[in-house]
Structures are given as C-alpha cells and as structure tokens.
Structure 1
Amino acid sequence: MKPYLADFSKLIKFRLTFLVVFSASITFLMGSKMQVSRGDIPGIDWNGWLILIAGGFFVTAAANCFNEIIEKDLDKLMTRTKDRPMPAGRMTTGQGLVMGLVMGMFGTWLLGKLNLETGLLSVFSILLYAFAYTPMKRKSPIAVFIGAIPGALPPLIGYLAALGKSTTFYPIDYTIAVILFLVQFAWQFPHFWAIAWVLDDDYKKAGFRLLPTTKRDKISALITLLSAIILIPISLLPTFYGFGGYYIGGISLIAGLVFAWYALKLYLNLDLPSAKKLMFCSFFYLPIVQVVLLFDFITK
C-alpha cells in the first residue's frame, strides 16, 4: 500500500497541491468573515470550506496529472523527475489519464456546488496550466508569466467560493479578490526564478527555458531582484485599501524586504547557495503573509 501512496503523491505533486489548497482555504475564511460581518450569513460555512478543500485538491491534482502525462518523456531525462510513476514505468499514461479525468471532473463538480464562478475558474486553471504553461516551458521564458496566472487563481477562487450562491455583490469583494490574486501572482516570479536557477542544469536536460534570459547570468538575477522588489508595494495593498490592518502591513513589509535581500544576494553572488536561500525564503513568505492577513483581516 505504501508504494502506491508514494506514487500517487508524486503523481499529483502533493506538496504543490497542498500549498494551492492551503492558499484557497485561507482566503475562503477571509471571504466568510466579510459575509458574517455584513450579516449575509450567520457564521462560517464549514461544510463549504471542506468542499472547497476537497474540490481544490482534486482539481489541482488533475492539472498536475495532465502535466506529467504531457511531460512523461521529458521527465525521464531529469534527475528530479525520473522516478515519478509514469516515466519510471510504474504507471501507464492511460491510467494517469483516467485518474486525471476523474479527479478533474469530480473536483470541478464539487467547486461548482459552491457557485458557478468557482467551477468555471477551476476549469480555466486546469486548461491554462496543463495545455498552455506546460508546452510553453520548452519554447520561451514567457511560460513563467503564463504559469503564474493559474498559480495565482487559488486565493481568488477561495474568496469567491465564500460568497456561495449569493446574488448580492459589493465592490469591496471584487477589490479584495483581485488584490489577493495580485499578491500571489507577483510572488510567483521570484519564486519560479529561484527554483529555475537552482534546477537549471536539470531543466536543460529536458530543454526547459524558464530563467528570464534562459541562463544563470546577471540579467536573470537582476530581473529576479526587481520582481522581488515589485512584490513589496503589491503586498501592502491590503493595508492601503483598508481590509488589512497594520500588523499585516508590517509583516508584509518585513517579509518583502527579507525576500528582496535574498534576491539581492543572488544578484551579487550569482551562485547556487544564494539561489537556494531565495527559494526557501519564497516557500515561507506566502503562507506567513496569508495567515497573518487572515487574523488581521478587517471587515467593514
């Protein structure tokens, strides 16, 4: 049983799937707090929260499954991915396709139970990730921009899911949802490029072109640094628009400066240790900022 669970975990990229679901579940709670404060609902819909987690898990797992089907032959070339179940020969593409379709349809159905927008965005996310971002990785660094869109949809999906089937919408809800999307969208560029720097040698075996200049050079490091700097003002938008307090403002500023500092170290040193520190910093940045925002979320 354990080998099958291990293969399933690799197939769906469990850690990535968990991060996606975590992000959506946090923003669902933000949206719920806003609904409760307006008297639209008596309390947090925990059943809806569980549906979002399950639906988000299956949709994300399906997108990752389709990604691995498309890249099976390329995964064989890379040390990091050659032991995944399909390139290793422990699972056929047919089996993977069936699993992906079942998870995708079931996950979309679950999210559609919350509201139409959530279901449609989940389908859009699968299509963009699997069939636009995945093939573009070998063609151009623009793939990072394309991949950042479905990667930033979870907080938007989570917040909209909290609105349920309400027919009353307020401008502040759209403002909050878009800003949550923008923060995660901006975060992905230094995050992606730090990973691409660390794994560049492996990526080259499969022909992936993910660094800004496709090389570990000064310009790629500079663009990564600029993206980390741009994240700082974007992360302060919740406080600027009044739905985030001063605590999240302070944490976002400190976390953003630390993030930018590690990006600066990469620019100055152009080495793997600096890229790894930036990469690990990116792993901690997002959940910290999102959790603090949840507890410093101001409803009006």
Structure 2
Amino acid sequence: MKWSDFSKLIKFRLTFLVVFSASISFLIGSKVNGIIDWSNWGMLIAGGFLVTGAANIFNEIIEKDLDKLMKRTMDRPIPSGKMTTGQALVIGLFMGIFGTYLLGKLNLTTGYLSVFSIMLYAFAYTPLKRKSPIAVFVGAIPGAFPTLIGYVAAHPQIDEIALVLFGIQFVWQFPHFWAIAWVLDDDYKLAGFRLLPTGSRNRTSAVFALIFTLILLPVSLLPTFMGFGGYVVGGVSAVMSLIFLYQAFSLVRTLEIKSAKQLMYGSFFYLPIVQMVLLFNFIGKN
C-alpha cells in the first residue's frame, strides 16, 4: 500500500491536528504537575495517532458507498477499490487496539476516554451526518476529547484547566464545522449529509456560526478570568476571537463561499495559536 493511500485512509492532516492538540494539552498538564515525562509524551503521540487513525478508518468503512458519490472522497482507498473493506477493518482494529493499549498504559482514564472517543465519532457522529444537523454537536464532543486525553495523560485528573481546554475546543468546532460544511455543501448533498444548521447556505445558518463565534470570545478568556492564563493569554485570545468573529460576521453579511473559506482558514489558525500561547504561559511560570 502506498503512503498516499494510507494517508487518505487515516485522514492524515486531521489526525495530525488531533495529535497536535492532545500533545499541547499534555505539556500543559505536565507543567501543572511540575515535570514533563518525554517518554510518556512520545507514547501519547503514538497512541493518539493510532486511535485517531482507527476512528477515521471506521468512519470511512461505514461511509464507503457515500464516499463514492463525492468528488473530494471518491479517490480514497476503499471507494476507489485500492483496498477492500476487510483490509481496512484489520488495519483499523490493529491501530485502535494498540493505540488504546498505549494510552491505557499512561493511565486508565486516558484509555477509557480514547475508547469512548472512537465509539462516539465512528458510531454516533458518522451515521447522524445524514439524519440531522445535530451531528455537528455530537461530533464536537469527540472532536474536543484530544484536549482531555492529552491533559489527563500527564495529570490524571479532570480539573478546571482540563475543562476549560475542552470547552475552548468544543465551542470552536461549531464555526469550524459549519464553515467547512458551507464550502463543501454541494459535495455533501451528493451523499445526503446535513451539516449546516438549516441544511442550506442561508443567513440563518450563517447566524448560527456567528453566535458560536461570539460565545467563543468569553470562553477563550476563561484561563485569564480563572487565574491560570495571564494577561498575555487573554490579550491574544481576545484578538484571535475578534478576528474570528469578524470573519463570521462577513459570512452573515455576504453569504458567499469566499467568506466561508476565510472563516474556515481563520479556524485553522485560531486554535493552535490560542493553545500555544497558553502553553508558553505555563512554561514561563517555571
């Protein structure tokens, strides 16, 4: 199997972003503990990569017939015939089991969270995509789990910092998902996916994205309000949130795919910048 096929099978870019988010949360949790165990960090990255890749493989197995209908997915290994469903299932099971084992070695809570994340993403979010826009809410839960998994892997306790990290990534996903859904709506409709709030590119769907971008502003300031973020974190988070908010407002105003793309690209920058600034804040305290 070529690397390009394997990369598409596990959705490499998405998997990378998930692992990145978990690793940042791990380092934050480690600084809360006062020490970074780099061997555990490596185990988290390997386990997180395997578990996330497995969840994506199960997603593609379930949607193999739908992937044939969409231009952006028809060249994936299963719908293109480069790999059988059985082969993909074996790879997915191996990655899921071994990845869960690695994360479980860090602590049991991390292992349980990883299993729950796979189940919720592959077997709840995936089938819901064709039934109701509520799928975005369901998908946002496992989508924000990497922050919990990473943090708990280093600091085996779901405390207020863990919940704030989860909350930021959870709320961020709504404008992120909806911007992508807006851009790809024509393709999604070929497979019957219903991800925009109203099912269509209209002002109401854009307003939903704006509302959640507005909610993200105070949520992103929680680290500063709760005393563990600092003013630099608050300032950067506020600036990034206002830029994000402006992009969402532009979508409401224009209802154009171009504006949705700007919101989508803005979401790609928003989360890693806010997370990295928070990490540097914790590093700077020691």
Q: Which residue of structure 1 lines up, in the alignment, with residue 174 of structure 2?
A: 189
Runs of 4 or more, structure 1, over 6 Å off, are none
Aligned length: 285
Once the two structures are superposed, the pairs formed by residues 83-94 of structure 1 within 5 Å of their partners are: 83-94=75-86
Partner AA of 1:199 in structure 2: L
Once the two structures are superposed, the pairs formed by residues 1-300 of structure 1 within 5 Å of their partners are: 4-36=2-34, 43-163=35-155, 174-297=159-282
Return the offset for 1:243: 1.0
Partner AA of 1:134 in structure 2: T
Structure 1 residues 299 and 175: CA distance shift in structure 2, 3 A: farther
- Write out per-residue CA displacement over residues 158-180 of structure 1, whole angstroms, 9 at most, x where no aligned residue: 1110025xxxx6xxx61111111
C-alpha distance in 1, partners of 2:88/2:19?
A: 21
1:243 and 1:299 in contact (8 A); partners too: no
Return the offset for 1:296: 1.1
C-alpha distance in 2, partners of 1:48/1:205?
A: 43
- Write out per-residue CA displacement over residues 27-72 of structure 1, whole angstroms, 9 at most, x where no aligned residue: 1111111111xxxxxx310000000000000000000000000000
C-alpha distance in 2, partners of 1:87/1:47?
A: 38
C-alpha distance in 1, partners of 2:36/2:169?
A: 24
Partner AA of 1:135 in structure 2: P
C-alpha distance in 2, partners of 1:178/1:106?
A: 27
C-alpha distance in 2, partners of 1:264/1:163?
A: 38
C-alpha distance in 1, partners of 2:210/2:194?
A: 19
Partner-residue secondary structure (3-state), 1:177? helix
2:27 and 2:279 in contact (8 A); partners too: yes
RMSD, aligned CA: 1.2
C-alpha distance in 2, partners of 1:81/1:158?
A: 30
- Write out per-residue CA displacement over residues 202-226 of structure 1, whole angstroms, 9 at most, x where no aligned residue: 0000000000000000100011111
C-alpha distance in 2, partners of 1:144/1:34?
A: 32
C-alpha distance in 1, partners of 2:39/2:30?
A: 12
2:32 and 2:155 in contact (8 A); partners too: no
- Write out per-residue CA displacement over residues 176-196 of structure 1, whole angstroms, 9 at most, x where no aligned residue: 111110000000000000000
The answer for unaligned runs of 5 or more in structure 1 is 37-42
2:58 and 2:122 in contact (8 A); partners too: yes
Return the offset for 1:299: 6.1
TM-score w.r.t. the length of structure 1 is 0.93
TM-score w.r.t. the length of structure 2 is 0.98
C-alpha distance in 1, partners of 2:201/2:155?
A: 44
Q: Which residue of structure 2 lines up, in the alignment, with residue 40 of structure 1?
A: none
Aligned-pair identity (%): 69
Partner AA of 1:49 in structure 2: W
Partner-residue secondary structure (3-state), 2:75? coil
Partner AA of 2:254 in structure 1: N
C-alpha distance in 2, partners of 1:290/1:49?
A: 17
